[in-house]
Amino acid sequence: MAARLPGVKAVASVRDLTRAFGERVVLDALDLEIGSGEFIALLGRSGSGKSTLLRALAGLDREVSGELSVTDSVAVAFQEPRLVPWKRVLANITLGLDGPAERAHAALAEVGLTERAQAWPLTLSGGEAQRASLARALVREPDLLLLDEPFSALDALTRITIHQLVVELWTRHRPAVLLVTHDVDEALLLADRVLVLDEGRIAHDSPVTAPRPRHRDNPELITLRADLLTALGVAPEGRS
């Protein structure tokens, strides 16, 4: 585990986190600390337990054991935007929220969806629905934003636009972000720290220091990509 920077407050601290489904131990005495404002990408093979860890951090899984200390201010966005179909976009953003409607309007403006505030979710494109889902998370002004493969169903161009948006929003609001992804390049382009989950633990933990906007041919990213592919058990010359 990477040492925490002195003076950086943790928004999540997990020690000995264990979760089994029957005989299958998915998280095995896992340790992890997430510092305030960090942008972390979490990689791991399919079934390695990434979503299980995210659900534990979100407080959605009460069956975990170990020490888990997480800020109260957590928001989650999932792979499917999970908008309520019978509520308009704006109402989806404010659902379960006591705050003023201006905040919801501001969040929609931040993701570029002001024009779609009164639209029904089913009329949104995939990228718009994912932006609405981000607005719903942002309006809660989280200290920790958990993103479970939110870009994986989007086409390549929409994905690039949303990547830029997420970096912009993170730069402006500075929540800590934990992004679950299968995509090594996405992890390297977005995050300041990349983790690999394997055999129930954090098997690899690298900082990414290249300045943004990042390019795939940055030498630091090329080296890290090879290390990460090896950690994931994929030959570096193969595809992630």
Tell whether residue 71 is a contact of ligand ATP (CB under 6 A).
no
**How far apart are the C-alpha atoms of 30 and 184, rounded to whole Å?**
22
Partners of 146 in the β-ladder: 76, 178
**How is residue 14 written in tokens?**
């997990």
**Considering only residues 160-219, where is the footprint of ligand ATP by CB under 6 A?**
none
Contact 203, 49 (CB under 8 A): no
Q: Is residue 231 within a helix (H) or strand (E), and if so which, with residue range?
A: helix 219-231
Tell whether residue 94 is a contact of ligand ATP (CB under 6 A).
no
**How far apart are the C-alpha atoms of 81 and 134, rounded to whole Å?**
8
Q: Is residue 154 within a helix (H) or strand (E), and if so which, with residue range?
A: none
Place of tokens 């505030």: 117
Tell whether residue 50 is a contact of ligand ATP (CB under 6 A).
yes
Least distance between ligand ATP and beta carbon 201 (Å): 13
Tell whether residue 86 is a contact of ligand ATP (CB under 6 A).
no
Least distance between ligand ATP and beta carbon 199 (Å): 12
Residue 132 three-state SS: helix
Considering only 30-38, 49-57, 129-137, 158-166, which stretch makes contact with ligand ATP by CB under 6 A? 49-57
Considering only 21-29, 32-40, 158-166, 169-177, which stretch makes contact with ligand ATP by CB under 6 A? 21-29
**How far apart are the C-alpha atoms of 198 and 27, rounded to whole Å?**
9
Nearest CB to ligand ATP, comparing residues 60 and 95: 60
Among 30, 39, 51, 110, binds ligand ATP (CB under 6 A): 51
Tell whether residue 150 is a contact of ligand ATP (CB under 6 A).
no
Binding mask 27-46 for ligand ATP (x = CB under 6 A): -----------------x-x
The angle, 0 to 180 degrees and rounded to 10, between the axes of the packed helices 126-138 and 101-110 is 130
Contact 208, 192 (CB under 8 A): yes
Contact 150, 130 (CB under 8 A): yes
Least distance between ligand ATP and beta carbon 127 (Å): 21
Nearest CB to ligand ATP, comparing residues 21 and 86: 21
Q: Is residue 36 within a helix (H) or strand (E), and if so which, with residue range?
A: none
The CB density around residue 190, as the number of other CB atoms within 10 Å, is 25
Nearest CB to ligand ATP, comparing residues 51 and 92: 51
Among 14, 52, 124, 179, binds ligand ATP (CB under 6 A): 52
Least distance between ligand ATP and beta carbon 105 (Å): 34
Tell whether residue 26 is a contact of ligand ATP (CB under 6 A).
yes
Q: Residues in the site for ligand ATP, rule: CB under 6 A?
A: 21, 24, 26, 44, 46-52
